[in-house]
Each structure stands twice: as structure tokens, then as C-alpha cells.
Amino acid sequence: MMGFLKLLLAFAPWLSFLIIAHGSMFRLELGLCVALGLSIVMGVLRLHRGLILWVGLAFFAAATVLVVVFKNMWTVQYMGVLANGSLALGTWAGIVMGKPFTLDYAKDHTDPALWNSPLFLRTNSIIASVWGSAFTLNALLAWLKMKQLFFSELAFELISYTLLIGVAVFTQWYPAHLRRLRASQQAAA
């Protein structure tokens, strides 16, 4: 349970944006400002770190300036695609660079002697890839919704949130599954 709470905390700026920023221009502007403020405070306090911190800071800073200062309606119209696309791009870039964003959080509860082990790195690459896939799919869903190619707002929301909840559950389940698998293999040997 503690791991799930840490996961929610890691995405607090994005979750606050998701909750606040819909329904009106005021709420979008407020959501951007709150998310940017949270990203800065959490970065300073080291509650939020690594690639996801930098992606959030870059996205929320740029979007806040474009929307709040310049009232850029293109940014407003494409906000769902841009937000999910930023997360997807950042996640995939981290994987390609050999630094999946999940490493920064997995190290909190992993013996430092294992940080460079191929299994630890591969596990984090797999988990980050699942996140990257969900962010990519959510960017596509947001584009479909924006182009009115999606059959209903409720279906969009249900699919999008189900993807994210599923990935959060997978993030908690997969390492525990690998530990149980290794334990059973060692017991059999």
C-alpha cells in the first residue's frame, strides 16, 4: 500500500491537473498553475525527481505561459494530446537513454547493491515501457476525443482512467511477482 501512495505522490502534479483542469478556461488555468507550483515544490523537496520531474516542469511551465499569459487556443484545444504526449515522449526517451523514470523511485526500496543488476534495470525498463504505452495510448485517445472521433466522453474517460489504474496496479504487482518467482525457483533448487 505504501508503494501505491508513493506512486500517487510521484504523479501528484499530473493528477491535480487532471482533476482541476476541465470544464472551463478558469479551471484549466488554475489546474496548470497548481500543477506547476506542485512540480516546483515537490522538486525542491525531492518528493518528485528524475525525468518525470523535468517533463512535468517543462510541460506545465510552457503550457502555463501559453495558456495563462498568451491565451493560446491551439494549446488549449490540444491540451490532452500535449499532456499525454509529453509524458509518453519523456518516458520513451528515458528508456532509450537507459534511464527509465521508474529507477528514481525503485531505488528508494531496493538494496543499492542491486541498482546496476541487469534484472533490476530490465524490470524497470519493462515497467516504464508499460507506462509509456499507456501514455501513448492516452495521447491517441485524447486526439480521437478532440477530433470528435470518439463515441462518448464517458467512454473516453473510462478507458483512459482504466489504463492508468491498470498500469499503477501492474507497477506494484510485477516486482512482487518477480520476487515470488525467484523465491520459488530458489526453494526448488
56-113 pLDDT per residue, tens: 999 999 999 999 999 999 999 999 999 999 999 999 999 999 999 999 888 988 899 9
pLDDT greater than 80 at residue 41: yes
- Residue 64 carries which side chain, given as an amino acid letter? T
Q: Are 22 and 35 in contact (CB under 8 A)?
A: no
Instruction: Name residue, grid cell 528524475.
Output: 50
Angstrom distance (rounded) from CA 115 to CA 100? 13
Q: Are 79 and 28 in contact (CB under 8 A)?
A: yes
Instruction: Name residue, grid cell 501492474.
Output: 170
Angstrom distance (rounded) from CA 171 to CA 3? 9
Q: Cell numbers for 92, please give them.
A: 520513451
Where residue 1 falls among pLDDT bands split at 50, 70, 90?
low
pLDDT greater than 90 at residue 50: no
Q: Over the chain, what is the mean pLDDT? A: 93
Angstrom distance (rounded) from CA 40 to CA 32? 12
Angstrom distance (rounded) from CA 167 to CA 130? 7
Q: Cell numbers for 120, please give them.
A: 533490476
Q: What is the reported pTM?
A: 0.94
Instruction: Please give the average per-residue pLDDT across 14-30, as a whole number.
Output: 96
